[in-house]
């Protein structure tokens, strides 16, 4: 039930951001010769809207070695290092040369939970496992090494869980941590499932 490439290639990044809620984000790694599958249900996303959005790395059409991934046709991973420490995972969307991306900010663990706990170095299941953009990449073992990977491939993919999300379950708010983006900082381009504990905690200032 991998999402097809066509899912990613419409140019409405806001619609895709909402459609991703409730889908599964799956990673497959090889540990000691054995495949390890881990997955979580996406509960929180943020849209980064191409060249016009000051919060986007591709603002103004900035096209560099790092941002080149975002200019690919939708359906690949954009993973980058933030604060020199954290790996953040995005889904690239839109047609080729339209650098739209969706940041995944929170997942609810559903598969391979013991492996996710071990990667996060926590003992029991709680929002600390994957409620936050840099936490879920740890839990799923996603790093910048996966930048540019095809999301219909064998390492990382998105799957339809069969669970439908009613529009009334979706809430919108301004994005987190983008105060530098001036007038774009207040745009309600963050989407999350109401009342889900794996939505990342909002920090003060």
Binding site for DNA (CB under 7 A): 46, 48, 55-57, 60, 62, 64-67, 70, 78, 80-86, 88, 90, 101, 103, 120, 128, 132-135, 175-178, 180, 200, 203-205
Least distance from C-beta 112 to DNA, angstroms? 19
Least distance from C-beta 140 to DNA, angstroms? 13
Of 43 and 103, the one with the shorter C-beta distance to DNA is 103
Residues 6+ away with beta carbon under 8 Å from 109: 38, 39, 40, 116, 125, 129, 130, 139, 198
Of 33 and 180, the one with the shorter C-beta distance to DNA is 180
Report the alpha-carbon distance of residue 100 to residue 71 in Å, rounded.
Answer: 8
Of 101 and 149, the one with the shorter C-beta distance to DNA is 101
Report the alpha-carbon distance of residue 130 to residue 198 in Å, rounded.
Answer: 7
Report the alpha-carbon distance of residue 196 to residue 205 in Å, rounded.
Answer: 22
Q: Where are the alpha helices (DSSP H) in 25-132?
A: 113-120
Least distance from C-beta 41 to DNA, angstroms? 17
Of 163 and 182, the one with the shorter C-beta distance to DNA is 182
- With 0-12 / 13-18 / 19 or more C-beta atoms within 10 angstroms meaning exposed / middle / buried, residue 44 is buried
Of 18 and 162, the one with the shorter C-beta distance to DNA is 18
16 backbone dihedrals φ, ψ, rounded to 5° = -65, -40
Least distance from C-beta 161 to DNA, angstroms? 23
Cα dihedral sign for 56, 58, 59, 64?
Answer: positive
Of 157 and 189, the one with the shorter C-beta distance to DNA is 189
Least distance from C-beta 68 to DNA, angstroms? 8
Please tell me what DSSP assigns to residue 28. E
Bridge partners of 102, per DSSP, are 47, 91
Least distance from C-beta 50 to DNA, angstroms? 10
């Amino acid at each position: 039930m991998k999402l097809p490439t066509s899912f990613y290639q419409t140019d409405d990044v806001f619609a895709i951001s909402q459609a991703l809620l409730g889908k599964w984000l799956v990673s497959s790694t090889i540990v000691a010769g054995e495949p390890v599958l881990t997955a979580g249900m996406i509960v929180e996303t943020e849209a980064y809207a191409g060249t016009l959005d000051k919060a986007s790395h591709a603002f103004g059409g900035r096209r560099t070695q790092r941002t080149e991934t975002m200019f690919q046709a939708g359906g690949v991973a954009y993973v980058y290092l933030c604060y020199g420490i954290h790996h953040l995972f995005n889904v690239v969307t839109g047609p080729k040369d339209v650098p739209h991306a969706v940041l995944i900010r929170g997942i609810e663990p559903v598969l391979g939970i013991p492996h996710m706990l071990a990667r996060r170095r926590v003992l029991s299941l709680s929002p600390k496992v994957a409620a936050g953009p840099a936490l879920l990449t740890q839990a799923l073992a996603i790093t910048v090494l996966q930048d540019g990977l095809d999301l219909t491939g064998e390492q990382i993919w998105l799957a339809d869980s069969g669970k439908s999300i009613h529009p009334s379950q979706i809430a919108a708010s301004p994005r987190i941590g983008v105060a530098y983006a001036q007038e774009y900082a207040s745009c309600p381009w963050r989407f999350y499932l109401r009342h889900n504990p794996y939505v990342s905690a909002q920090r003060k200032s």
